[in-house]
Amino acid sequence: MANNYADPRDRAFIAEDNARLRGDLDADYAALGAILQRRGVNIEAVTANVASFGVAIPSWGVGTGGTRFARFPGKGEPRNVFDKLEDCAVIHGLTGATPTVSLHLPWDHTDDMPALRQRATALGLGFDAVNSNTFQDRPGQQLSYKYGSLTHTDPDVRAQAVEHNIDCIRIGKLLGSKALTVWIGDGANFPGQQHLTRAFERYLESTAQIYAALPSDWRMLIEHKMYEPAFYTTVIQDWGSSLMAAQTLGPKAFCLVDLGHHAPNVNIEMIVARLVHARRLGGFHFNDSKYGDDDLDTGCIDPYRLFLIFNELVDAQWRQAPDFHPAHMLDQSHNVTDPIESLMTSAIELQRAYAQALLVDRQALADYQQQNDALMAAQTLKRAFTTDVQPILARARLQKGAAIDPIGTYRRSQYRLGCAERRPAAQSFGGGIV
């Protein structure tokens, strides 16, 4: 780190910044504690729950993204997976909310995976699910994925895609991952282009081979997406196809819900409830969207929807739903913001939704539902959602030695400027336009 820049992971630097804000926070926390006490809620219990919440950072999220039209690189972008880890450590150091990283292969390829694991451990990070990539061709690849991968009509292409996924498991084992996330771009742009049933059957056949290579303590997370890059239909289009696949494959296969992968206005919390019921909710890729996009910052458009999803999750926790241990991951692309700032904000938005969902008076809600009191049932949710839980989030961070004001502390450190000096612009960077 260049001398004139502070290291935002430095505990002493964070503590110094926290000292300025501590008095106000204590006052706000005490005031909120009194309000919650009147509602029969113990603020310390909520804070402890929030403090234990973690979400994985997508390695591809710390670089600047782009659109089909252009990518405008940011300053000091990470040049390789080791740089990405440094940025992830900054996010975790300041928020205390992102203890793991989710890698994307081959974007994050390095010849020395054990060294990568060592570096992560030194930075206090672990690895969440590994993501395979058969939606683009890599240089020198033998067969093309232009017309599909795991569902391709050519068995040799399918075999190549299966092999890549099995390789991802091998690499994930070196890193200490416990899950493989499979998202394919396979689908069709025209009616008639693809035999809808046969393509799905080929998917099941290919994924069965991947499934067979899973270690016993691993999970396979199947991600659906309504469209893009295929614009007429995708093979794993919706949670129905995803659930059928998971149930066909076996008990280690689960459904992953990427919030942005649905049509506008789809009731995602209902999907979550159904997957919890089916015992197949594997995890999330959190983000937000307005139209057909799938990569905006979590909670930036519709925080109430995010809250309603967390309401289902807390409810499932509360009634101890079986096989319920969803993985939390972010999946965003940052085109106009500093990715570190966006990812910190998003992790905090998740904690906010979680804290608000913890405030729901579940017994009162159950009673109103039983009595068909629609208005009061809705109000019960709204009351939790409209509570300003900011002091709880800040207090949870403070307890961990993280920052009361992560963005403010980050900006004061000038980390990005230091990166711009240390990381001259790279020629190519995996996962630029996502």
Rounded to a whole number of angstroms, the minimum distance from the CB of residue 275 to ligand RM4 is 17
Site for ligand RM4 in 201-220 (CB under 6 A): none
Distance from C-alpha of 75 to C-alpha of 58, rounded to nearest angstrom: 19
Cβ distance to ligand RM4 smaller for residue 266 or 366: 266
Closest C-alpha among 188, 79, 81 to residue 131: 81
288 scored as a contact of Mn ion (CB under 5 A): no
Strand (E) or helix (H) holding 345: helix 339-358
Strand runs labelled E in 108-230: 126-127, 130-131, 179-182, 187-188, 219-223
Cβ distance to ligand RM4 smaller for residue 183 or 385: 183
Distance from C-alpha of 229 to C-alpha of 224, rounded to nearest angstrom: 13
Mention every residue, 6+ apart, whose C-beta is less than 8 A from residue 159: none
128 scored as a contact of Mn ion (CB under 5 A): no
87 scored as a contact of Mn ion (CB under 5 A): no
Peptide linkage before 106 cis (omega within 30 of 0): yes
Rounded to a whole number of angstroms, the minimum distance from the CB of residue 223 to ligand RM4 is 5
Tokens representing residue 323 in the block: 């096989």
Closest C-alpha among 161, 148, 13 to residue 90: 13
Q: Figure out which of the listed residues 128, 288, 294, 297 binds Mn ion, where binding follows CB under 5 A.
A: 294
Distance from C-alpha of 63 to C-alpha of 80, rounded to nearest angstrom: 10
Strand (E) or helix (H) holding 215: none
Q: Figure out which of the listed residues 87, 258, 315, 338 binds Mn ion, where binding follows CB under 5 A.
A: 258
Q: Which does 327 bind (CB under 5 to 8 A by kind): Mn ion, ligand RM4, none?
A: none
Q: Which does 434 bind (CB under 5 to 8 A by kind): ligand RM4, Mn ion, none?
A: ligand RM4
331 scored as a contact of ligand RM4 (CB under 6 A): yes
Length of the chain: 434
Q: Which does 286 bind (CB under 5 to 8 A by kind): ligand RM4, Mn ion, none?
A: none
Site for ligand RM4 in 282-301 (CB under 6 A): 285, 294
Cβ distance to ligand RM4 smaller for residue 272 or 359: 272
Number of residues that bind ligand RM4 (CB under 6 A): 10
Cβ distance to ligand RM4 smaller for residue 222 or 314: 222
Rounded to a whole number of angstroms, the minimum distance from the CB of residue 186 to ligand RM4 is 12
419 scored as a contact of ligand RM4 (CB under 6 A): no
Helix, coil or strand: residue 311: helix
DSSP-assigned beta bridge partners for residue 221: 181, 254
- Asked if 56 contacts 100 with a C-beta cutoff of 8 angstroms, the reply is yes
Q: Figure out which of the listed residues 223, 269, 297, 341 binds ligand RM4, where binding follows CB under 6 A.
A: 223
258 scored as a contact of ligand RM4 (CB under 6 A): yes
Rounded to a whole number of angstroms, the minimum distance from the CB of residue 88 to ligand RM4 is 16
Rounded to a whole number of angstroms, the minimum distance from the CB of residue 267 to ligand RM4 is 20
Is 352 exposed, middle or buried (CB count within 10 Å of its CB: 0-12, 13-18, 19+)?
A: buried
Number of residues that bind Mn ion (CB under 5 A): 4
Q: Figure out which of the listed residues 152, 285, 328, 416 binds Mn ion, where binding follows CB under 5 A.
A: 285
Q: Which does 128 bind (CB under 5 to 8 A by kind): Mn ion, ligand RM4, none?
A: none
183 scored as a contact of ligand RM4 (CB under 6 A): yes
Distance from C-alpha of 158 to C-alpha of 165, rounded to nearest angstrom: 11
Site for ligand RM4 in 118-177 (CB under 6 A): 131
Mention every residue, 6+ apart, whose C-beta is less than 8 A from residue 354: 49, 50, 53, 310, 313, 314
Helix, coil or strand: residue 227: coil
Site for ligand RM4 in 66-95 (CB under 6 A): none
Rounded to a whole number of angstroms, the minimum distance from the CB of residue 404 to Mn ion is 31
Site for Mn ion in 307-336 (CB under 5 A): 331
219 scored as a contact of Mn ion (CB under 5 A): no
Cβ distance to ligand RM4 smaller for residue 178 or 225: 225
Task: Kindly report the number of other CB atoms within 10 A of residue 69's CB atom.
Answer: 6
Helix, coil or strand: residue 197: helix
- Asked if 223 contacts 236 with a C-beta cutoff of 8 angstroms, the reply is yes
What sign has the CA pseudo-torsion 398, 399, 402, 407?
A: negative
Q: Which residues bind Mn ion (CB under 5 A)?
A: 258, 285, 294, 331
Q: Which residues bind ligand RM4 (CB under 6 A)?
A: 104, 131, 183, 223, 225, 258, 285, 294, 331, 434
